[in-house]
Amino acid sequence: MYLTLETKSTSELYLVRKGWFTREIELTDNTHSYGKIVYHRLSKRIATAITASNTWIFKRADNSYRYISVTDENGEIIGTANRDIFSRITTLSLQTGLVAKFHKPSIWSRHYVWESDDYGQIMHIYSYPFGLRNDINIDQSMAPASSILFLTFFGSYLVHLKRQRNNAIVSGLLYSLWGGRNLKRS
């Protein structure tokens, strides 16, 4: 069903959503499919990434938006991700020993970067606000191919959480500025 990713021959991937209201996003290079990520609920707190050889479950903690646990299909924790208070950098620590950081190089940029102290820059994820496709450029680093797929799906999950958090902030501000006034007048 899905192919295994050969990072030596493929350096550009796409996360493609088939429509505005679908919960599935497919990872492809426009010829082959390498996996998909499925969001379980409308809140998008839980997501499952499925590839040819692995299945990962990403779950944000109930009481904190800064802590995310990563489990396999058997429910065993294989890693955690944390974001410090007032920080834009999310640090992922896997039990395999991989420690990677996910961040935007600038507040104004539209792309995110995965980088590691051991491997350098691993990949760039270009996210477009109203698009159905995200572009992924894989840097030719010595990072394992299995971690490339994992970082791609986990980066997509982090981008969705960030958009969701920003939308909640903006809608709260708009409600307090305009919605609250209309309630006071009536």
Name the percent of the chain lying above pLDDT 90.
Answer: 48
Q: How many Cβ atoms sit within 10 Å of the Cβ of residue 172?
A: 11
Average pLDDT for 8-25: 85
**Domain ranges within the chain, ordered by starting residue:** 12-185
Q: What pTM was computed for the model?
A: 0.86
What does the alpha-carbon distance between residue 79 and residue 99 come to, in Å, rounded to a whole number? 10
pLDDT at 181: 55
Q: How many Cβ atoms sit within 10 Å of the Cβ of residue 76?
A: 8
pLDDT at 180: 57
pLDDT at 28: 92
**Predicted confidence band at 97 (pLDDT cuts at 50, 70, 90)?**
very high
pLDDT at 185: 52
pLDDT at 82: 94
| pLDDT mean across residues, the chain | 86
User: Between the ranges 35-39, 159-163, 166-170, where is the mean pLDDT highest?
Assistant: 35-39
Among 2-6, 102-106, 123-127, the range scoring the smallest mean pLDDT is 2-6
Average pLDDT for 107-119: 90
Query: CB-hemisphere CA count at 13 Å for 97?
Result: 4
Among 101-110, 121-130, 138-147, the range scoring the smallest mean pLDDT is 138-147
**Predicted confidence band at 182 (pLDDT cuts at 50, 70, 90)?**
low
Among 93, 73, 95, smallest CA distance to 83 is for 93
What does the alpha-carbon distance between residue 80 and residue 62 come to, in Å, rounded to a whole number? 14
